[in-house]
Chains A and B, each alone.
Chain A
């Protein structure tokens, strides 16, 4: 157990639907990062939050949004889902200046 908790582990949904992925960071970590991993695109950075504020944005589609709550957990919302959104979605957390990032075990999203 890495200390970063992601739920659900697996999600199967239909095109056009909306889903919410949840991440609880490791205790004490203020930063949360979301990544998307697909076979053809590798591991793509989506978005970063630090202590409730958005800090950096990567290749995140307009159909996707995220937030970090006062208790530091984060949610990634994916809407108007397309087949190409099928991927593993990872959350990672870190303390500023720490040695590396701690990843959750991911949510496998399948859009059918």
Chain B
């Protein structure tokens, strides 16, 4: 069963613009992670935010977490063509018995 649910399912923006993707989840979490997947390839870990953190930055990525609303957002600033990919949020994974559960992803398309 899906834990996280990304919104929107698909997003097209012009190169240079900012892209915002949202993720909602259902149960309490230890952490939330964002991954990128280029078409047909493996997933690449982008960033992890712990449940006691509210915001985290990594390069052009900014992630926020609101545990009271059970939601997170991923902001990609100054988008580039290479950012075209699917983006997934995933929850869990810090304990030995945890597995990470993925949402269905947001397909991001950067227009030239």
**Interface of A with B (CB < 8 Å)?**
2, 4, 31, 33, 35, 42-43, 45, 48, 50, 55-56, 58-59, 88, 90, 92, 94, 96-97, 99-106, 108
Q: Is the interface of A mostly helix, strand, loop or mixed?
A: strand
Interface digits, B38-50 against A, CB 8 Å rule (1 contact, 0 not)? 0011111100100
Question: Cβ of B88: which chain A residues have Cβ within 8 Å of it?
Answer: 43
- A90 and B96: CB pair below 8 A? no
* Interface size, B (range): 20 to 34
Q: A99-B45, A106-B42 are in contact. Are A45 and B94 (CB under 8 A)?
A: no
Question: Cβ of A43: which chain B residues have Cβ within 8 Å of it?
Answer: 43, 88, 102, 104-105
Question: Cβ of B103: which chain A residues have Cβ within 8 Å of it?
Answer: 42
CA distance in complex: A88, B39 (Å): 11
Q: Is the interface of B mostly helix, strand, loop or mixed?
A: loop
- B42 and A100: CB pair below 8 A? no
- B41 and A105: CB pair below 8 A? yes
Question: Cβ of A100: which chain B residues have Cβ within 8 Å of it?
Answer: 33, 35, 45, 48, 93
Interface digits, B57-99 against A, CB 8 Å rule (1 contact, 0 not)? 0000000000000000000000000000000100001111111
- B33 and A33: CB pair below 8 A? no
Q: A42-B2, A45-B101 are in contact. Are A105 and B42 (CB under 8 A)?
A: yes
- A31 and B96: CB pair below 8 A? yes
List 20 interface pairs A-B (beta carbons < 8 Å), by A numbering: A33-B100, A35-B102, A42-B2, A42-B103, A43-B105, A45-B99, A50-B96, A55-B96, A56-B97, A56-B98, A90-B43, A96-B95, A96-B96, A97-B94, A99-B48, A100-B93, A101-B43, A103-B45, A105-B42, A106-B40
- Chain B nearest CB from A41 CB (Å) reads 9
Question: Cβ of B40: which chain A residues have Cβ within 8 Å of it?
Answer: 88, 106, 108
- B96 and A101: CB pair below 8 A? no
CA distance in complex: A59, B105 (Å): 19
